[in-house]
Amino acid sequence: MAEAHLQQFLEKIRQLNAFVALSEAQPELRTALRNCSNHHEVVELAAGFGFDIGRRWGDGPTAERPPSPADQQNLLASPCPEDGQERSTVLFQSSQWRLECIHSCNASSPTDGWYDQRAMEWVLLLRGSARLEFEDEPQARDLCVGDSLLIKPHRRHRVVATDPAPGTLWLALFWDADG
């Protein structure tokens, strides 16, 4: 483990310990913590008390690296979009399919907006976490690093929440279901 990553890891542990100690000293904070239903709500609650516990080990600023060859990319090194925003980058495509890297920062779909697309979509979370809601399911789904999901054409869905900086990073493959 590089020293910078070790220090980042230890700082997160310090902040988590301080947040736990504060929740033990303040019953109303403990109640608020108990009422959180997902990771995003815990991170937001902690931030309200000055704690930055949302960052994962290894995330954040990277050490200077020599320039990469033109055919080499590091998807995890992309700069985080503005808070509440999402950025899509087409990595590869043909006439039948498209591969995108989607970087979301504390983003969500409009409350009255649903994605209703003609294409099949397969997504994989590379970093962070997300909550997705499907119109035909009673509960939103929580996704974390390594989770993948196949979304069939015209299955209405929306993003409920993604992580704050450094954000949520998705790999998304789209293709024509008929092709």
Residue 50 has pLDDT above 90, yes or no: no
pLDDT of residue 91: 92
Burial class (CB in 10 A: 0-12, 13-18, 19+), 126: middle
pTM over 0.85: no
The dihedral sign for the CA sequence 108, 42, 128, 120? negative
- With H, G, I as helix, E, B as strand and everything else as coil, classify residue 40: helix
User: ∠ CA(43), CA(9), CA(106), 5° rounding?
Assistant: 30
pLDDT tens column, 163-175? 988 899 999 999 9
pLDDT of residue 53: 80
pLDDT of residue 64: 42
CB distance 159 to 141 below 8 Å: no
Count CB atoms within 10 A of the CB of residue 144.
Answer: 13
Average pLDDT of the segment spanning 126-147: 93
List the structure tokens of 63.
């050490």
- With H, G, I as helix, E, B as strand and everything else as coil, classify residue 152: coil
Give the pLDDT band (50/70/90) at residue 130: very high
Average pLDDT of the segment spanning 34-50: 82
Residue 79 has pLDDT above 80, yes or no: yes
Region at 171 (left for phi over 0; alpha for psi -120 to 50; beta for the rest): beta
Cα separation, 133 vs 158, whole angstroms: 5
pLDDT of residue 63: 43
Residue 179 has pLDDT above 80, yes or no: no
For domain 79-176, give its CATH number from 2.60.120.10, 1.10.3720.10, 3.20.20.150, 3.40.50.1370.
2.60.120.10
